[in-house]
Amino acid sequence: MARLSYLSAFAAFVVFRVSAQTAPQYGQCGGTGWTGATTCPANWSCTFSNAWYSQCLPGSATTTGPTTTVSTPVGTGGSTTVSSTSTASSGSATLAPGWSFVRAVEDPNFHKYLQSQVLGTASPAVLGDYTHAAQFQVVNGQLIQNADGSNLYAIVEPPANSTVVKLGLHWSTTPDTLGTFVFSGDSLEWSSPSVKRQQNNAWLVCPSGTTLSVFINLGAYAYMTPAGCADETLNAYTGTTAVP
Ligand SMILES: *[C@@H]1O[C@H](CO)[C@@H](O)[C@H](O)[C@H]1NC(C)=O
Ligand SMILES: *[C@@H]1O[C@H](CO)[C@@H](O)[C@H](O)[C@H]1NC(C)=O
């Protein structure tokens, strides 16, 4: 009996330790065997996906506390009191291990996904429907698209002159030589020693007809946004499939 109490106290301690951490936006926050953070940032909720995976998604389950904690059932994937806010869609391909979807998280392009204008080919970088979401890795500063097993590299168009406020982005079979991509947390950033920009995670999405072209924003996020364009950040998403 004494031993049992000791174990209970230990278990409580472990739960406390885990809950004290906060998972990143879109990060995993629960699931069978998950020992990481179970708390989501303010106004994000830990959303049950399946018995093995819960994820921090935008939206608050409560408006009272600064954080929302949801524990996922351990053991069987049986009943749960947590309802999913994302449909169990299988519209996109399943994410390959080690790769990420990349998507915008701000309106008017909320959950539009990075891809090639002509899917899976060396063509302009655009945002599009989740059903066509491409998969990415950053390796040695290169943003690589998995085009059916072969690599496409994100190429940033060099600035033509000092008045240019945004740089185009396209996919190529050869690597970029201008700058460096990096995921900072889940946020996609780009910098270059030869290009001055104010914020490395500031992107622009500018529609042309139905095409949502992606640009590097050389100015500050949401400041002097070029006409017709929308400020966006681009964020890695590692759910099993891309979701709307
Ligand atoms: C969370 O949402 C509430 C209500 O919309 C808002 O007042 C508050 O500033 C938000 N907190 C954060 C950290 O975004
Ligand atoms: C700078 O480059 C842009 C894009 O090529 C061009 O439209 C603009 O006329 C150029 N401005 C100057 C001052 O050269």
Q: Ligand 1, from 22, 40, 43, 44: best to mutate by most atoms within 8 Å of Cβ?
A: 43
Per-residue confidence (pLDDT) for residue 41, from 0 to 100: 85
Q: Is the CB of 15 under 6 A from ligand 1?
A: no
- For ligand 2, which residues put their CB under 6 angstroms from it? 160-161, 163-164
Question: What pLDDT is recorded for position 93?
Answer: 87
* Residue 167 to residue 123: CA distance in whole angstroms: 15
- For residues 29 and 20, give the distance between their C-alpha atoms in angstroms, rounded to a whole number: 12
Q: Looking at ligand 2, which residue's alpha carbon is closest to its atom 1? A: 161
CA proximity to 184, closest of 21, 23, 24:
24
Percentages helix, strand, coil for the chain (3-state, rounded to 5) are 10, 35, 55
- pLDDT the model gives residue 175: 96
Closest by Cα among 106, 19, 23 to 71? 19
**For 145, phi and psi rounded to 5 degrees?**
-100, 135
Q: How far apart are CA 59 and CA 157, in angstroms?
A: 36
Decide whether any atom of ligand 1 lies within 6 Å of the 67 Cβ. no
Q: Is 42 in the pocket of ligand 1 (CB under 6 A)?
A: yes
| Residue whose CA lies nearest to ligand 2 atom number 13 | 163
Q: Residue 41 CA: which ligand 1 atom is closest?
A: 13
Cα 154 to averaged position of ligand 2 atoms, centre (Å): 23
pTM here is: 0.62
- Tens of pLDDT along the chain (244 residues)? 445 455 454 444 444 443 457 888 888 888 878 888 888 888 888 887 777 778 888 876 533 333 334 444 444 333 333 333 333 334 688 999 999 999 999 999 999 999 999 999 999 999 999 999 999 999 999 999 999 889 999 999 999 999 999 999 999 999 999 999 999 999 999 999 999 999 999 999 999 999 999 999 999 889 999 999 999 999 999 999 999 9
**Ligand 1 geometric centre to CA of 126 (Å):** 31
Instruction: Give the per-residue pLDDT at 28.
Output: 84
Measured in angstroms, how far is the CA atom of residue 185 from the centroid of ligand 2? Answer: 35
Ligand nearest to the CA of 62: 1
What pLDDT shows up at residue 166? 96
CB atoms within 10 A of CB 205: 22
